[in-house]
Structure 1
């Protein structure tokens, strides 16, 4: 089945009733897991924050649609922000010499003693685990990443950038998924939320 990517911003601008938009967003359900709360965050963002983030221009959310029994269904989504990766100098100084050299090749230090790499934040990536979406069985996490790469490639042509990065829980299944899709973990780095940092050079997706 074909996958269609629809901008949430375009839907909002189409003058549809917000109740109808929310009904579509609430058709998304994450996979519940005892050892992970990240899936709950992905669901919570789409249900309660995505529309606000669009209106404030904080991020762009894209809905991935397909059809099942001739009915359009939401099978997944992703959100992207044009946001540089910022690493406080206190943490950067603890990195290994090898890692510092790698990062210095794509970023720079600022006057505020932070290290910055221009790029894009993949803020959210989620497959819909609702009963209807699972029956359609037409979308994987790797499919969603490939669609996100297409949007990031377009953005890169306009404003540039060096990396794509994301934060994820320190859960082996999640980390291994991103590593299998070409991301590297900054092992010495932990975000304010206690998450792991995964990065990928934009050269690898352009």
Structure 2
């Protein structure tokens, strides 16, 4: 079954009203959180932030479609930003000497002594768990991650950079998934949102 990737900015330009596009995005349902009162960030972003981020050029969102009973269905999405990974001077100073040496091989100190690596942030990666999307049996997490890294590779070839990186929750299954696909955790560091940071060097 074929898949089609459309950028959200293009969907917004093809004659649909913004309200119609918002209804399309609302067809996306993430896997439920452990707390039923909490909405997963991957769903909240697509429903409530993605259009604004697109219009403000903060991030690009890519919608992945398949078909079910000859009707197009949103089966997943990902969002990317051209954004360097920045680690504060205070946090960088806490790293082991061996980790500092590894990181300095791909990044540099700024004038304010923060540490920075030029790269691309995989801000969101989400499979649609709605009944219609699951019925297509068209997409798995590995497929979606490959699509996102392919898009980042296109951006890298156009503008340069050193890494692809992402933030994820400290869950063994999720961390193992990214490790199996070439990402490595900065083990001594958590983001401001208390999330794990995984990086993949661009060779």
Q: Is the TM-score greater than 0.5? A: yes
Q: Which residue of 1 aligns with 2:5?
A: 5
Following superposition, which runs of at least 4 residues in structure 1 exceed 6 angstroms of deviation?
Answer: 35-39
1:68 aligns with 2:68: yes
Note if contact 1:186-1:199 (Cα within 8 Å) is conserved in structure 2.
Answer: yes
Equivalent residue runs for 1:29-44 within 5 Å: 29-34=29-34, 40-44=40-44
Q: Which residue does the alignment assign to 1:46?
A: 46
Whether the 8 Å CA contact 1:36–1:171 is kept in 2: the answer is no
Shift of 1:38: 9.3
Cα distance, 1:3–1:155 mapped onto 2, change above 3 Å: same
TM-aligned CA distance change 1:151 to 1:49, over 3 Å: same
- Deviation, 1:14, is 2.3
Question: Pairwise mapping of residues 91-130 of structure 1 onto structure 2 (< 5 A)?
Answer: 91-130=91-130
Secondary structure of the residue that 1:173 maps to in structure 2? helix
Determine whether 1:59 maps to 2:59. yes
Q: Conserved in 2, the CA contact under 8 Å of 1:38 and 1:168?
A: no
Shifted more, 27-36 versus 185-194: the winner is 27-36
C-alpha offsets along residues 49-99 of structure 1, whole Å, 9 cap, x if unaligned?
000000000000000001111110000000000000000011111111111
Q: Distance in 2 between matches of 1:38 and 1:114?
A: 34
Give the CA deviation at 1:39.
7.0
Q: 1:92 to 1:38 in 2, by over 3 A?
A: farther
Q: Which runs of 5+ in 1 are unaligned?
A: none
Query: Which secondary structure state, in structure 1, belongs to the residue aligned with residue 12 of structure 2?
Result: helix
User: 1:127-162 CA distances to partner (integer Å, 9 max, x unpaired)?
Assistant: 000011111111011101111112111111111000
Shift of 1:33: 3.1
Residue 162 of structure 1: aligned partner: 162
Root mean square deviation of aligned Cα: 1.6
1:196 is aligned to 2:196: yes
* TM-score (ref. length: structure 2): 0.96
Shift in Å at residue 23 of structure 1?
1.1
Number of matched pairs: 203
2:187 aligned partner: 187
* 1:106–1:36 distance in 2 versus 1, CA, 3 Å: farther
Instruction: Give the Å deviation of 1:35.
Output: 7.0
* TM-score, normalised by the number of residues in structure 1: 0.95
Q: Does 1:144 align with 2:138?
A: no
Distance 1:186 1:125 in 2: 20
The separation in 1 between residues aligned to 2:39 and 2:143, in whole angstroms, is 17
Shift of 1:3: 1.1
